[in-house]
Structure 1
Amino acid sequence: MNKLTIKILIGLFLGAALGLTMPAVYQEGFDWLNQYVLDPAGSIFLRLIMMVVVPLVFLSLVVGVSDLGSPKQLGRMGMKTIAFFLATSAISLTLGIAAALVIQPGTPNLLGEGVAEEYQPPEAVPVMDTLVNIIPENPIQAMANMEMLQIIAFAIFVGLAMAVLGDKVTTVKSFFTQANDIMMKIVTFVMGFAPIGAFALIASALGEAGWGAVGDLLAYMLTVVGVLFFHMFVVYSLIVWFLGRMNPLTFFKGFAPAITMAFSLSSSNAVLPLSMKSAQENLGVSKQVSGFVQPLGATINMDGTGIMQAVATVFIAQVYGQDLSLSAMLVIVLTATLASIGTAGVPGVGMIMLAMVLASVGLPAEAIGLIIGVDRILDMMRTSVNITGDAVLAVIVDRSEKKRGAIDENGNATEAS
């Protein structure tokens, strides 16, 4: 467990203790502290998160799509990889939404009737209008208004065009890559304030909502954890059994070192070397397939993160007393699935993606304050799910390519490829 994680957890426990005890002992003192310290500190941290949402999503998507190469260059293996990741992302999001709708972890008006009454939800948009509106009339206006699906669509077009043009736009691609690196560094800076932000937000939220919020937060956490476990040990087991022709017990035993490390580091990118080593040496995946599928998965496959976003969005909607329409749920699935392409696998990005998903369905970003304190714990678990999905696909693609004769048993390319 790294230093930042420890600091965030300390901030979480101290903030929870303050928010649950001080109002009962000295309500006026808490009100003053909340007005002049906690609320401003939490608002600043949320503003820092919102500051990077649009540029990070746009730049990371452009770079991610352009790195995939042209459709011809992607070939059979590339199309299998992308199709699998998009399909499992959609499945994970659907599972998250369904679980949250059934369990209903969020209590209406948890933050007080005044807060819920002040929030004015957007009018429900018909499903077909949602699909049509994915294409922006003015990309710049879409960025200014945080129309996330439109931003994602435009970024994908730019990335595809750059991929097709190849060496002709080397300079432009270098600019986008370096700009994306700058944004990721800013994310690192922002996450440096996470312990303070977690302390202030959880103290303020619990102080205003009281002990009633504890039960809701626990229900939210258990819902996310339950869906993560189901997706990892049921969905992935079925996939690796039927499509990869491998015993799930053999798979999880061989990949256990990487899963454990991912839980500790909370970063798909940081654990990538061990993930590839475990897949190649313990699961028999060829270096060719592992070297293509797993790095790509660390960039575009975020099943665990998608589960958190789906449950969190429904949870927040329930807290604000809002029923999500069919079109809103479709927007959640589309936004989170498409945005996962190119989003870096580093700690803290999940919260930024959640802010983006909330904006796409018109829910207030301030509601992140309810869950950000406990998110670090969930981040460790969902990272393990993310990299497990990459390894599952690596096994499937490797078996498929060997069966076709595209690579031999030693993982070397053959003439058939």
Structure 2
Amino acid sequence: MIAGIIIGALLQWLFDDSGDFSFSVFGLHVSTYALLVEGIFNVVGSIFIASLKMLVVPLVFVSLVCGTSSLSDPSKLGRLGGKSILLYVATTAIAISLAVSFALLVAPGDGLNLTSESTYVAKEAPSLGQVIINMMPTNPINAMAEGNMLQIIVFSVFFGIAMSMTGDAGKRLTAVFEDLSTVVMKLVTILMNLAPYGVFVLMAKLFATIGFDTIASLLKYFLLVVFVLFVHAFVSYPIILKVLSGLSPLILIRKMRDAALFAFSTSSSSATLPITLETAIKKLGVKRTVASFTVPLGSTINMDGTAIMQGVATVFIAQVYSVDLSLSDYMMVILTATLASIGTAGVPGVGLIMLAMVLQQVNLPVEGIALIIGVDRLLDMTRTAVNVTGDCMVACIVAKSENELDLDIYNDPDAGKKDEEVDFEHFDRNS
């Protein structure tokens, strides 16, 4: 990651307005910058992200079916769902409240006369009722093809429950899904050996193209969002974990390092899902019956980082446009952003769509999003890291409450490390 940042910054510095190094190949004029950034870095990075997204649907479907089919008590699934959703909504409400409070205290938009020639055309955000309706798949195969995670989760839960109630046929099918789960997790392990190269090209491309002059003009806003994200990750989460489960927050934060850095690189909760799930099971000791439900659900509805951005951005835009918001307006921002996070997909940049919905609720100009869009890519990376940390934190709390947490694995600093490497040099094809 560090190497990618340095290389990307150097490329931007070398190939600025002073010119570019170019050469000819078979009579074609080739730009060095374009070859590296738009060519090699773009192709390798896109393939790497695509390979991760390739795993998401089979991983969620197979893991969730295995988890629900193994539940002997159907009421346990209701408890898991109730606890998970309640915790996710609560942490999001805390996140947006922190964001609005700090933004009002710091006032990042006061005194700024920012103008932008660009415009932001917001897509229409779905209503909460429509989000609930859309959770039920009319065609589960189509939902898998489109990567509609809420519909996949609902279908997987129903399918797993049906398997658990079908007797011998269900048991035979459960054995097949257990084997499929083992194979998919091994595929995750293999792809993780390619992660350093994928992360390098992603970071190099980003820092070769991002405009640092834009960050300078929005430095106060940028630093405030990052500050609130850090407060939520290193203060709110540890307090919630300690109070509700008694577990050590330091262990959680230390073991989340790899998954958080990976989320930072990809800016996608969905793309990071295989790593998040593996971290919860192998490093934190969350039993698969709990992890396979809470973690995919969290990657879909737990958007604390996005809520923080929405809170700070709303106050920032209101101050830039000199619009005074009342207490009831701020309460509406908190409520809307909390509910909007349920309908936020785990893909890069989608938070801006939800921000448009929040701005419309308090009659702020949606065009104000154009002011902050230049630095949103970097902030998107940071808030994704916070989101996946929250997913595992909730998984640990729910697992502890259901006696489905292996404390030996949780407290073992080396847990999960032995499964991270694949020896390709001595790889036996027949084994």
Paired residues, what number? 292
- Superposed CA offset, 1:201-253 (max 9, x none): x99xx7xxxxxx945x1110111011001000000011111212211111111
2-structure distance, mates of 1:111, 1:391: 39
Question: Which residue in 2 is equivalent to 1:110?
Answer: 113
How far did 1:100 drift?
0.4
Contact map agreement 1:228 1:385 (CA 8 A) in 2: yes
Pick from 91, 95, 98: which aligns with 2:101? 98
How far did 1:199 drift?
8.1
List 4+ stretches of structure 1 deviating above 3 A.
8-14, 71-74, 173-181, 406-411
**Could you say if the C-alpha distance between residues 288 and 95 of structure 1 is closer, same or farther in structure 2, counting changes exceeding 3 Å?**
same
TM-score (ref. length: structure 1): 0.60
2-structure distance, mates of 1:84, 1:153: 18
Between 390-399 and 348-357, report the one with greater CA deviation.
348-357
- Superposed CA offset, 1:94-149 (max 9, x none): 1000010000000256137xx9xxxxxxxxxxxxxxxxxxxxxxxxxxxx996x6x
2-structure distance, mates of 1:407, 1:230: 26
Question: Which residue in 2 is equivalent to 1:158?
Answer: 133
- Superposed CA offset, 1:352-379 (max 9, x none): 2222222222222221121111111111
Question: Structure 1 or 2: larger helix share?
Answer: 1
2:78 is the counterpart of 1:75: yes
2-structure distance, mates of 1:371, 1:260: 24
TM-score (ref. length: structure 2): 0.58
**Could you say if the C-alpha distance between residues 310 and 281 of structure 1 is closer, same or farther in structure 2, counting changes exceeding 3 Å?**
same
Question: Which residue in 1 is equivalent to 2:322?
Answer: 321
Question: Which residue in 2 is equivalent to 1:30?
Answer: none
2-structure distance, mates of 1:366, 1:354: 11
2-structure distance, mates of 1:337, 1:245: 26
Q: Which runs of 5+ in 2 are unaligned?
A: 18-63, 69-73, 149-205, 410-431
**Could you say if the C-alpha distance between residues 154 and 248 of structure 1 is closer, same or farther in structure 2, counting changes exceeding 3 Å?**
closer
2-structure distance, mates of 1:392, 1:333: 22
SS at match of 1:271: helix
Question: Which residue in 2 is equivalent to 1:330?
Answer: 331
Letter of the 2:310 counterpart: Q
- Superposed CA offset, 1:288-325 (max 9, x none): 11111000000000001100110011000000001112
Contact map agreement 2:114 2:371 (CA 8 A) in 1: no
Contact map agreement 2:269 2:347 (CA 8 A) in 1: yes
Contact map agreement 1:11 1:199 (CA 8 A) in 2: no
Contact map agreement 1:12 1:373 (CA 8 A) in 2: no
- CA RMSD, Structure 1 to Structure 2 (Å): 4.0
Q: Relative contact order, CA 8 A, sep 6+: which one is greater?
A: 1
**Could you say if the C-alpha distance between residues 11 and 104 of structure 1 is closer, same or farther in structure 2, counting changes exceeding 3 Å?**
farther
Q: How does 1:194-343 map to 2 (within 5 A)?
A: 214=216, 217-343=218-344
Question: Which residue in 1 is equivalent to 2:426?
Answer: none
Question: Which residue in 1 is equivalent to 2:166?
Answer: none
How far did 1:284 drift?
1.1
Letter of the 2:110 counterpart: T
1-structure distance, mates of 2:283, 2:13: 39
**Could you say if the C-alpha distance between residues 347 and 13 of structure 1 is closer, same or farther in structure 2, counting changes exceeding 3 Å?**
farther
Q: How does 1:353-372 map to 2 (within 5 A)?
A: 353-372=354-373
**Could you say if the C-alpha distance between residues 407 and 268 of structure 1 is closer, same or farther in structure 2, counting changes exceeding 3 Å?**
closer
**Could you say if the C-alpha distance between residues 250 and 111 of structure 1 is closer, same or farther in structure 2, counting changes exceeding 3 Å?**
closer
How far did 1:89 drift?
0.5
